[in-house]
Structure 1
Amino acid sequence: MFRSRNKLSAPRVLSDMKQKQKRYEALVHAFHADIYRYAYYLAKDKSVAEDIAQETFLRAWRSLDALKDEKAAKSWLITIVRRENARRFEKKQLDIVEYDEAALVDETCFAESSVHQNEIHRLLAGLSLEYREPLILQLIFGYSGDEIAAQLDLNKNTVMTRLFRARNQLKDTLSKQPEVRGHRNG
């Protein structure tokens, strides 16, 4: 009797595993670029962002059965990314030398669009995490105020205030900057 039950359940187990593999592959295909991009904004380092994204999808595979609503997949993955980023600070780290990233990059070798992207990244990086995170969730992922509030476990009014302040800080920073030499001749 024991053997016959195992023989009957083996095809079902294989079918379940194949189904889980298909769900996982669809998840990775749909969200890998967004997850990497968000990890990069958090870590500001390509290799660290790759590690965070990889660990995110590994944890997603392990917990895929817990994802009941496919519509919540992106939000679920964002939560995993945030936790993975926080975990890297829990680990013992070597002394980190602070440096001005903008000073190390010779922007003259980039195309104009790359210069603008670098400038936007630098401006976003200049915001404190409490303002940067909701703004990135809105700009990159297109989340609404309600979705951001749920994602960050905040009140919607708090999120809207932080978005407002983040935008104002960016405007103030941009208005105080002298125009980049060579970009505009007036």
Structure 2
Amino acid sequence: MSNGTHASELERLVGQYQTAVLRTCYLYLCDRSQAEDAVQETFLRVYKGLDTFRGESSEKTWIMKIAINTCYKMNHSGWSRFINRRVTPEMLPEASVPFEEKDDELTRAVIRLPIRLREVILLYYYQGLNVNEIAEALDISQPSVSGRLKRGRERLKDMLEGRENDA
């Protein structure tokens, strides 16, 4: 692929996936500035990897895997301990569809989930990935994804019904 082809392909991918990647990174990192940095780093890695993408997964799965790995690395850097982790739905990047009040309550509950449960809920419900794609994106087994989805749903139900204050 030539540099011109790479650039136009990257432009298409950014246009198609930037908002989804930003929302996911923000919910992972709980900081707008870090999420924006993660998006830039994600698409830089996408650009560098265009020649090696073999199409064994969907573009979305591939890009989300890169974004998740980027967030993991940023979360484990020394700077992450200085970040304000109190995220509210108002702070999230603009959604393509306006939130309703019940969505706001659900988003607050999702944010409070432990990261291992939050990530599968985000990828399944917010990004529309299936269990196989999530397993591939997170490098875990399909039964692990199914188990985490089940536990995540149970925790969310408990939180929303008021049986659990904070995760």
The TM tier, using the shorter chain, reads 0.7 to 0.9
**Partner SS for 1:93:** helix
Alpha-carbon distance, 1:152 to partner: 1.4
Conservation of the 8 A alpha-carbon contact between 2:61 and 2:129: no
1 or 2, which has the higher helix percentage? 1
Counterpart of 1:80 (choices 66, 70, 75) is 66
Tell me if 1:91 matches 2:80.
no
Tell me if 1:170 matches 2:144.
no
How many pairs align?
155
**Partner SS for 1:65:** coil
TM-score (norm 2): 0.79
Give the AA of the match of 2:63. L
Identical aligned pairs, as a percentage?
A: 28
Aligned-residue Cα RMSD (Å) equals 2.6
Moved over 3 A (4+): 94-102, 112-118
Distance (Å, rounded) in 2 between the aligned partners of 1:49 and 1:62: 20
Structure 1 residues 100 and 90, CA gap change in structure 2 (3 angstroms): closer
Distance (Å, rounded) in 1 between the aligned partners of 2:136 and 2:16: 21
Give the AA of the match of 1:122. R
Distance (Å, rounded) in 2 between the aligned partners of 1:94 and 1:131: 20
* Paired position in structure 2 for 1:6: none
Counterpart of 1:140 (choices 123, 126, 129) is 126
| Largest Rg, 1 or 2 | 1
Alpha-carbon distance, 1:94 to partner: 7.3
Give the AA of the match of 2:131. G
Give the unaligned 5+ runs of structure 1.
1-14, 106-111, 178-186
1:3-42 correspondence to structure 2 within 5 Å: 16-42=2-28
Alpha-carbon distance, 1:168 to partner: 0.9
Give the AA of the match of 2:53. L
